[in-house]
């Protein structure tokens, strides 16, 4: 039996602005990553660098629907996992962003990984919201010692 991690946040900006902040590596570096090998485009492999915690992650971008959805797979946690980010307008000036990562095995290790990913994706959405709404980078000052759980 497997289960998914789902997190969601409402951001007070139009869908296009929020979507662009997720696919554009320059904008992503203001709240999520340190650098990326390129933008998220369907059929590409992108390397994300997290210099503040000394990590690099490779993702295979499977699907990008402008202003609607991004899907990728990665083996960053060991087993290959699929992450889907969906963008839904909530009126003309707000966006609901939903992140789903799947499938976690219902084992002690699977639950531990899922809890970590739930916290990580929640932090990512908070960072995205702080950046897009207020121009604040929540990762400033972050280091590996603070992210080890």
Which ranges constitute the DSSP H helices of the chain? 15-23, 25-28, 108-134, 144-147
Residues of the chain by 3-state class (helix, strand, coil), percent to 5: 30, 35, 35
Residue of 52, 50, 88, 53 lying closest to 69 (CA atoms): 88
pLDDT(96) > 90: yes
Residue 149's pLDDT band, with cuts at 50, 70 and 90, is very low
CA distance 86 to 67: 8
pLDDT(146) > 70: no
Number of domain units in the chain:
1
Read off the CATH number of the domain in which 99 is found: 3.30.530.20
Do the Cβ atoms of 114 and 3 come closer than 8 Å? yes
Backbone angles phi, psi at 127, to 5 degrees: -65, -40
Domain annotation covers residue 74: yes
Q: Which domain holds residue 91?
A: 2-33+65-138
Single pTM value for the model: 0.91
Residue of 131, 46, 123, 115 lying closest to 77 (CA atoms): 115
- The mean pLDDT value for 40-52 works out to 94
Domain annotation covers residue 57: no
Q: Which of helix, strand or coil describes residue 77?
A: coil
């Amino acid at each position: 039996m497997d289960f998914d991690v789902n997190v969601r946040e409402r951001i007070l900006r139009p869908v296009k602005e929020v979507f662009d902040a997720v696919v554009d590596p320059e904008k992503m570096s203001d709240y999520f990553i340190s650098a990326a090998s390129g933008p998220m485009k369907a059929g590409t492999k992108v390397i994300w660098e997290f210099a503040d915690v000394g990590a690099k992650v490779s993702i295979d971008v499977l699907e990008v629907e402008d202003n609607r959805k991004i899907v990728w797979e990665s083996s960053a946690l060991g087993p290959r996992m699929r992450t889907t980010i969906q963008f839904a307008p909530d009126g003309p000036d707000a966006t609901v962003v939903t992140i789903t990562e799947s499938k976690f095995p219902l084992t002690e290790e699977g639950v531990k990984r899922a809890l970590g990913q739930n916290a990580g994706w929640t932090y990512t959405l908070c960072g995205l919201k702080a950046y897009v709404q207020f121009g604040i980078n929540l990762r400033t000052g972050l280091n590996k010692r603070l992210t080890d759980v």
